[in-house]
Structure 1
Amino acid sequence: MRLVVVGGGSTYTPELVDGFARLRDALPLDELVLVDPAAERLEVVGGVARRILARQGHPAKVTTTTDLDAAADGADAVLLQLRVGGQAARQQDETWPLECGCVGQETTGAGGLAKALRTVPVVLDIAERVRRAAPDAWIVDFTNPVGIVTRALLDAGHRAVGLCNVAIGLQRKFAALLGAAPAEVHLEHVGLNHLTWELGVRLGGPDGPDVLPALLAEHGEAVADDLRLPRGLLDRLGVVPSYYLRYFYAHDQVVDELRAGPSRAAAVADMERRLLRMYADPALDEKPALLAERGGAFYSEAAVDLVASLLGGRGGAVQVVNARNAGTLPFLPDDAVVEVQAAVDGTGVRPLPARPLDPLYAGLVAHVAAYEELALDAALRGGRERVFRALLAHPLVGQYGYADTLTDRLVAHNREHLAWA
């Protein structure tokens, strides 16, 4: 099995490689190809990847290259984990929206739109090159904003599925609180990427008892603290929102916090510098503890499970993915991309029936889904007016004065990445 990671020079990669080594029985990997335009950084990450595999006795070969076309040749699956513009662009995404009193964040609001505009054309170019070199390969997108990027790939006819680590992270946390094995915890995870709610937590499988009420009653404080939302709000909702819902449910509070403190982008950039120095140490042959602070927890387990199922090793597996709605949420178009439980096997992904969403959540989902459609249109066709329309449609912007100002600032900060600007 030949697996390609585009963005292989990412500091995330050792997390992924560690998962490949530990879960070798699920995913019998023969060759891992790391692709990245940053050759020097790629060699550093490639070196620690080889040492991690060797330490755990995994026989897979690790290849590093800046040549995507050569890398994709004969690939069974391609994982996308790239960041167009790097951490410098992320720093901008988190900063200039605050000047208008809007949240600055890399996957939602105005900053999330900027990332989508930079990312979608690059990902589509990569996908076309993969299709020419390996027409049967699956493309697994971990690149944010996952929902918009996955929709772009599917609309262009690619064999693609989106992956996020929010659901598996919650599954692992709930399992620890319940004293259960993670495999026994089944989430009723419904919504859009970074806009989801756990409507139920079932033990033993999709038809098992719903223990969410008991979980909230016994461990509500711990869950609320992790989400940075009030315990009382969770009790009133009776569900567990993704931590990204804090940008919606406590928007003004978050803006005040972001204005007062150092940005997450600055912290991550510093962390990346430290991680790369660690990776360069020829004695390092395991992922360092610092990597857990980088984000992407359990990404490797989710990726291994998904790729193994797509390539036929785990028929009938149920996993949370980003895929076509296809009637799952009846108030959205069938071609929208939703993040839900799905049956995954070698033929593709099939979303499972979902419990009807309360209007409290369905309204926000419909609102953000409409924004995502406009955002994708702006990413594909460009133009100031399309950017303005997307921003005006976003519930975290919504006012024409803000949308106008943010459009100007988005274009000014991203001109080098926008072919039409």
Structure 2
Amino acid sequence: MKLTVVGGGSTYTPELIDGFARLRDALPVEELVLVDPAAERLELVGGLARRIFARQGHGGRIVTTSDLDAGVEGADAVLLQLRVGGQAAREQDETWPLECGCVGQETTGAGGLAKALRTVPVVLDIAERVRRANPRAWIIDFTNPVGIVTRALLQEGHRAVGLCNVAIGFQRKFAALLGVAPLDVHLDHVGLNHLTWETGVRLGGPEGEDVLPKLLARHGDAIADDLHLPRSLVDRLGVVPSYYLRYYYAHDEVVRELRTKPSRAAEVVAMERQLLQMYGDPALDEKPALLARRGGAYYSEAAVDLAAALLGGGGSPYQVVNAYNKGTLPFLPDDAVIEVQAAVGPHGPTPLPVPEVDPLYAGLMANVTAYEELALSAALRGGRDRVFRALLAHPLIGQYAYADTLTDQLIAHNREHLAWA
């Protein structure tokens, strides 16, 4: 089995490598290729990756290359974890929207649209080259904004599934609070990427007992603290929103906070500097503890589980993924990409039935789905008016004066990445 990671020079890659090494029985990788144009970073990450494999007794071969076509040749699955423009572009995404009083974040709002515009054309080019190399290869997308990127891939007929670590993070957290094994926890997880709610927490599988009310009664304070939302709100909702919902439920509060502290991008840049220095130490043969602060917790386990299911080697029967709606949520178009529990196998994901969704959540999902459709149109076709329409449709913006100003700023800050600008 050959797997390729595009964006393999990321400082986060050792987390993925550790998962491949630990879970090799579920996913017996014979060749793992790390592809990245940043040769110096790739050498450091690749060296540590080989030492992690060696320490854990994994017999697979790790190859590093800057040649994308060579890297994807014959791959059974390709994982996408790239960042067009690097952390410098992320720094901009997180700062210039604040000038209008709008949240600055890399996956939602104006910053999220900027990232989509930079990313979608690059990902589609990569996917087309993967298809030429092996039409049966699966593409697992972890590149944000996952919902929009996955929809772009599916619209072009690629064998693609989107993956996010929010659900597996909740699964692990709830399992610890309940004192059970993570695999015993099944989430009733519904929404769009980075716009999801846990409407049930079931023990043993989709038909198991829903213990969410007990969980909130006993551990509501801890859950609310993790979300940075008041316990009273969580109790009134009766569900657990993802931490990304704070950008919607407490937008102005978040903007005030973001204006008074360094951006997340600045924190990550400093962290990456330390991590790369560590990776260069030939004595290091395990992922350092600092990596846990980098983000993407449990991504390696989610990625292994998904790849194993898609490639027919096993994996959990039900997994939270990003896939076509196809009637699962009747208030959304069939070609919307939703994030829900699905049965996953070599045929791909099949979303499980979802009970009727409360209008409180369905309305916001429909609004953001409309934005994502407009955002994808702007990413594929370009043009100032398409960017403006997407920003005007976003519930975190919505005012024409803000949308006009943000459109000009987005184009000015991203001109080098926009072929049409």
Q: Is 1:249 aligned with 2:249? A: yes
Residue 156 of structure 1 is matched in structure 2 by 156
SS in 2 for 1:267: helix
How many angstroms does 1:313 deviate by? 1.2
Residue 135 of structure 1 is matched in structure 2 by 135
CA distance in 1, matches of 2:191, 2:223: 19
Per-residue CA deviation, residues 34-67 of structure 1 (Å, 9 max, x unaligned), is 0000011101000000000000000010000000
Residue 178 of structure 2 is matched in structure 1 by 178
Per-residue CA deviation, residues 96-137 of structure 1 (Å, 9 max, x unaligned), is 000000000000000000000000000000000111011110
Residue 346 of structure 1 is matched in structure 2 by 346
SS in 1 for 2:40: helix
Per the normalisation by structure 2, the TM-score is 0.99
CA distance in 2, matches of 1:389, 1:255: 23
Per-residue CA deviation, residues 287-340 of structure 1 (Å, 9 max, x unaligned), is 000000000000000000000000001277100000000111100000110000
Q: Is 1:369 aligned with 2:373? A: no
CA distance in 1, matches of 2:376, 2:196: 20
One-letter amino acid of the structure 1 residue matched with residue 93 of structure 2: D
Q: How does 1:19-418 map to 2 (within 5 A)?
A: 19-314=19-314, 317-418=317-418
Report the more deviating stretch, 313-322 or 82-91. Answer: 313-322
SS in 1 for 2:196: strand
One-letter amino acid of the structure 2 residue matched with residue 138 of structure 1: W
CA distance in 2, matches of 1:322, 1:412: 31
One-letter amino acid of the structure 2 residue matched with residue 196 of structure 1: T
CA distance in 2, matches of 1:204, 1:7: 36
CA distance in 1, matches of 2:280, 2:248: 40
One-letter amino acid of the structure 2 residue matched with residue 97 of structure 1: P
Report the more deviating stretch, 313-322 or 334-343. Answer: 313-322
Q: Is the 8 A contact 1:316 1:345 kept in 2?
A: no
One-letter amino acid of the structure 2 residue matched with residue 44 of structure 1: L
SS in 2 for 1:260: coil
> Relative to structure 1, is the Cα distance of residues 278 and 316 closer, same or farther in structure 2, using a 3 angstrom cutoff?
closer
How many angstroms does 1:12 deviate by? 1.0
Per-residue CA deviation, residues 375-394 of structure 1 (Å, 9 max, x unaligned), is 00000000000000000000
CA distance in 1, matches of 2:277, 2:225: 33
CA distance in 1, matches of 2:316, 2:20: 21
CA distance in 1, matches of 2:181, 2:29: 26
Q: Considering only aligned residues, what root-mean-square deviation do their CA atoms show, in Å?
A: 0.6
CA distance in 2, matches of 1:144, 1:238: 28
SS in 2 for 1:4: strand
CA distance in 2, matches of 1:119, 1:315: 29
CA distance in 2, matches of 1:412, 1:184: 49
CA distance in 2, matches of 1:47, 1:281: 9
Q: Is the 8 A contact 1:194 1:244 kept in 2?
A: yes
Unaligned runs of 5+ in 2: none
Stretches (4+) displaced over 6 A: none
Unaligned runs of 5+ in 1: none
Per the normalisation by structure 1, the TM-score is 0.99
Q: Is the 8 A contact 2:323 2:337 kept in 1?
A: yes
CA distance in 1, matches of 2:226, 2:268: 19
One-letter amino acid of the structure 1 residue matched with residue 75 of structure 2: A
Q: Is the 8 A contact 1:315 1:346 kept in 2?
A: no
